[in-house]
Amino acid sequence: MTLALFANGKIRASKKATKIFLIAMVGYLVFSLLNLVLMWTNVLPAGQAFGLYSASLNILGINIPLGLIIGLLVVLMAAYSLVLDFDQIQQGVRNGAPRKFAWMGAFGIMVTVVWLYVEILRMIAIVRSSN
């Protein structure tokens, strides 16, 4: 889906969006490291298997796991990361990069797809554990 939108020109990698993406990535890194430290030091209650991800927010009388909200944001970040990967490959082709660097583009796409897959699995696990 992302590739089709990128190929049709519906989604592009702009400097402003990339800057926002990098800030969001640093924020997600800090959140993940904080969550990991809190889980390792047993600061969080024992019933929360996913740490802060298991915490619930009461929005309009509905308990929504924090991990689900963060997961949706991370899926959007991973989708934009795919756009950045496609843009990097397009720039390489346009600038005449040697064929031996093609693996870098393929590796970037593979890492992003695995990240997206793991995040979707985490969201499914959080939803299943909250029931």
Asked if residues 7 and 87 have their Cβ atoms less than 8 Å apart, the reply is no
Predicted confidence (pLDDT) at residue 68 exceeds the cutoff of 70 = yes
Number of domains, the chain: 1
From residue 75, how far is each of 37, 40, 43, 91 by CA, in Å? 23, 26, 28, 24
pLDDT digits (tens, 9 = 90+) for 24-59: 999 999 988 988 888 888 777 666 666 676 676 677
| Domain interval for residue 99 | 2-130
Give the per-residue pLDDT at 118. Answer: 93
Higher pLDDT, 60 or 75: 75
pLDDT tens sequence across 75-127: 999 999 999 999 998 888 888 888 888 889 899 999 999 999 999 998 898 88
Query: Model-level pTM?
Result: 0.82
**According to the model, what pLDDT value does residue 60 have?**
73
Using alpha carbons, select from 1, 4, 6 the residue that is nearest to residue 84.
Answer: 6
- pLDDT at position 100: 83
